[in-house]
Amino acid sequence: MKRPDEIKRRYDDACGTAHALELLGERWTLLVLRELMLGPRRFSDLREDLPGISARVLTQRLAEMEAKGLVVRYRLPPPASVQVYDASDWGREAEPILQTMGRWAARSPGHDPSLPISAVSVLLSFRTMIDGERAGERDGVLRFVFGERVYTGTIAAGRFTVAAGADAAPDVTLAGAPEQLVGVAYGGAPLELLGVEGDAELARWFFSLFALPEKVTG
Amino acid sequence: MKRPDEIKRRYDDACGTAHALELLGERWTLLVLRELMLGPRRFSDLREDLPGISARVLTQRLAEMEAKGLVVRYRLPPPASVQVYDASDWGREAEPILQTMGRWAARSPGHDPSLPISAVSVLLSFRTMIDGERAGERDGVLRFVFGERVYTGTIAAGRFTVAAGADAAPDVTLAGAPEQLVGVAYGGAPLELLGVEGDAELARWFFSLFALPEKVTG
DNA sequence: CCGTATCCAATAAGATACTG
DNA sequence: CAGTATCTTATTGGATACGG
């Protein structure tokens, strides 16, 4: 007597938080959305950057998220012709949720920044954790290179934005693993850990804009 | 080869969002925390205001949340001498997460404000959804009465705060079910739906500070 | 290889009955 | 009232197999 599509676990609760949990609260959902925040990815990209997710669960989550309007699925134009998943406009509006959670969790005594991390996570964390006051000191364009993937970050008028691709001409190009970027930005590791081309002084200043907040008194 | 206490489902991910999900992401956890945001509650209070939660799951969640430092458990002084649960200071710091989720979900086409809602949820939603600009127009103290339970809301310097208890002398006292409060604040229902004692004009102004945002174009 | 489907063992959640 | 105990159902994750 099972009707897997009809019986869904709901919270019968008008509270907005409860409704958000119905849309985003299943295991992996928010992390899948995170990976799509900076542009389309393929199924296997997602598997790589979500360590531990099984193909079965990823398939399910993507289908549910598409049905809920959080995710869109389409095929890239030829010659690529591969299927990709992307966040919908509405899905992207959930970024403040990721940020608020990230900011809160950074103060947790149990937070371990030495675990593996994805490229998208690091770049989003920059958007979350940047010192907005000091970011206004100067402008600049930074290119982040993770193997084949390239993102462009822009600081202008005190705001940091980041997008996939190598659109703008960068002042400085930074290459390295996401974990190394974390080390330099939050862990006080030397800039030399990364491949740096261009305005190293800008890079140094950029990384000085980040610091993990103090932990709550455990 | 099972070690039920050691093998926990984790996300091996340094991303702050992932860590927040490990602390708050299990089913019911965030809603239990919500119910504790305005002060201590007993086990059966929580069961009443979380429709559908089973005693088993509530017991589990409270124990996990206590172990993680989100919740504290203590016994009220005599003559009450009953055991209650409350959010820890750090747990209370998660309120921005509830707010961000609530604000996002309010725009969802699937959000149904006619479902049952708890007293705490409504009061927290006021804190989330109040029109900050217009709240500065005047000050006031509102008492909210839900049967036996009483909360006091204060508007001062454009900010709305709310706390359990009947501490301050109110300008107006509002009595009714949480659902009725939702109807008046967000659904355009008449103030007369509530029991009103005192400055009804203040109440009218207060409820004019709320409006659900427009839905995303589905 | 890319994406999905199928099978299975281990957990988690839900319902209900029960106890100090 | 404040939980436990027990049983049933659902979801998860891992392995594997399949079709393009």
Report how far residue B164's alpha carbon sits from residue B109's, in angstroms, rounded to the nearest whole number.
Answer: 32
Confidence of residue B207 (pLDDT cuts 50, 70, 90): very high
Specify the pLDDT at position B212.
Answer: 82
Report how far residue A1's alpha carbon sits from residue A203's, in angstroms, rounded to the nearest whole number.
Answer: 61
Specify the pLDDT at position B218.
Answer: 60
Cβ of B54 under 8 Å from any chain A Cβ?
Answer: no
Contact state of A19 with B108 under an 8 Å Cβ cutoff: yes
**Whether B212 contacts A14, CB under 8 Å:** no
**Whether A125 contacts B15, CB under 8 Å:** yes
Contact state of B116 with A179 under an 8 Å Cβ cutoff: no
The CATH code that applies to domain A4-93 is: 1.10.10.10
Mutate to test the interface with A, among B11, B15, B216 (most CBs of A within 10 A): B15
Query: Is A4-93's fold the same as A112-207's?
Result: no
In chain A, positions 57-76 with C-beta closer than 7 Å to nucleic chain C are 59, 62
The pLDDT of residue B8 is above 70: no
CA→C1' distance for A55 and D12 (Å) = 12
Q: Which of B187, B171, B168 is closest to B179 using CA atoms?
A: B187
Q: What is the CA radius of gyration of chain B?
A: 19
Nearest nucleic acid nucleotide to A3, CA to C1' distance = D10
In order of A82, A108, B10, the CA distances from B67 in angstroms are 46, 13, 16
Q: Is the dihedral of CA A155, A159, A162, A167 positive or negative?
A: negative
Which H or E element spans position B160?
strand B159-164
Confidence of residue A218 (pLDDT cuts 50, 70, 90): low
Q: Is the dihedral of CA B132, B134, B135, B137 positive or negative?
A: positive
CA A160 from centroid of its chain's CA atoms: 14
Report how far residue B59's alpha carbon sits from residue B54's, in angstroms, rounded to the nearest whole number.
Answer: 9
Residue in this structure with the two tokens 């997710």, named with its chain if needed: A53
Asked whether residue A110's C-beta has any atom of DNA/RNA strand D within 7 A, the reply is no
Angle at A24 between CA A180 and CA B112, to 5 degrees: 155
Contact state of B18 with A31 under an 8 Å Cβ cutoff: yes
Report how far residue A30's alpha carbon sits from residue A171's, in angstroms, rounded to the nearest whole number.
Answer: 33
Neighbours of B181 (CB within 10 A): 24
Specify the pLDDT at position B4.
Answer: 35
Residue pairs spanning A and B at CB distance below 8 A: 185
Specify the pLDDT at position B5.
Answer: 39
Q: What is the pLDDT of residues A140-153, one digit of tens each?
A: 999 999 998 999 99
CA distance A119 to chain B (A): 10
Q: What is the pLDDT of residues B104-142, one digit of tens each?
A: 999 999 999 999 999 999 999 999 999 999 999 999 999
Domain B112-207 belongs in CATH node 3.30.1050.10: yes
Q: What are the boundaries of each domain within chain A?
A: 4-93, 112-207
Contact state of A105 with B20 under an 8 Å Cβ cutoff: yes
